[in-house]
Amino acid sequence: MIHPWLQPTWTRLVELGERLPHALLFVGPAGLGKRALAEALAARLLCDAPGADGHACGQCEPCLWRLSGNHPDLYRVVPEAETAAAEGEGEGEAPAKAASTQIRIDQVRELQGALTVTGHRGSRRVVLLDPAEAMNGVTANALLKLLEEPPEGCVFVLVSSSPRSLLPTIRSRCQQWHFSRPEADALARWAAHADADARALLALG
C-alpha cells in the first residue's frame, strides 16, 4: 500500500525501471509509510508481471511466495525484537533472553552467506533493512562490504528515521530519497478512512 503523500515518489521509482540503483536509502520522520513503500518496491522488483501502476500483480508465483512469507529471494533484515513481536511469545513461556533491538552482526553475516549463492530464480534479489540506524559500527561495516561490491541483480533498500546515526560511507553508497511529513489535515483525512492494518503499517515507519 502506497500512502497518498508518497505516491509521487512511487511514480518516480517506477519510472526508473532498469535504471534503479543497487542501493536506496529511504529517509524521513517515523510514521510516514517508508516501510510500506520499501515493501511495495520489493514486491514490484520480484513480480513477474507488474501492473500499469507499477504494483506487483499479486498472482504470479513469486508474488504468492512473497505473500506467504516464503520468497527465497527477499531478505528482511530487522531487529530480533521486531521479529519476536510479530511472531508472538509462546503462552506461559518466559523468553531465554530479551530480544535485541539492534540489527546484529550475525544477521548481516548470514545475509552475506545467502547472497553468495545464485538467486532462486536466477535474477533479482531484494534486501530490506529497517531501521538502518539499528546497526552498530561493526555491523554497518559488514553491510558496507556488500554495498561496495553488490551481488549481481541484488537491490538493497535501507529505511531510516535517523540518517545522521549512519556511517557516512553507508549513506554515500546509497541513493537517498528524502520524505517530509505530510500536512496534518492530509494525514487526518487519510487516517479517518484507513483500516486498522493500514494504520499499523504506517506506524512501522
Position 12, amino acid: R
Q: What is the pLDDT of residue 126?
A: 98
* Three-class DSSP category at 148: helix
Contacts of 166 (CB under 8 A, 6+ apart): 25, 132, 133, 135, 140, 160
Q: What is the pLDDT of residue 123?
A: 73
What CATH number corresponds to the domain at position 148?
3.40.50.300
Structural domain total, the chain: 1
Q: Is residue 9 part of a domain?
A: no
Q: Is residue 92 part of a domain?
A: no
Q: Is residue 154 part of a domain?
A: yes
Q: Are strands 23-27 and 125-129 parallel, antiparallel or unpaired?
A: unpaired
- Asked whether residue 148 carries a pLDDT value surpassing 90, the answer given is yes
> Rounded CA gap, 18 and 16, in Å?
6
Which residue range(s) make up the domain with 177?
19-83+101-115+122-203
Instruction: Give the rounded distance of the alpha carbon of 205 from its chain centre.
Output: 10
Q: Give per-residue pLDDT as tens, 16-28.
A: 999 999 999 999 9
Q: Is residue 91 part of a domain?
A: no
Q: Is residue 95 part of a domain?
A: no
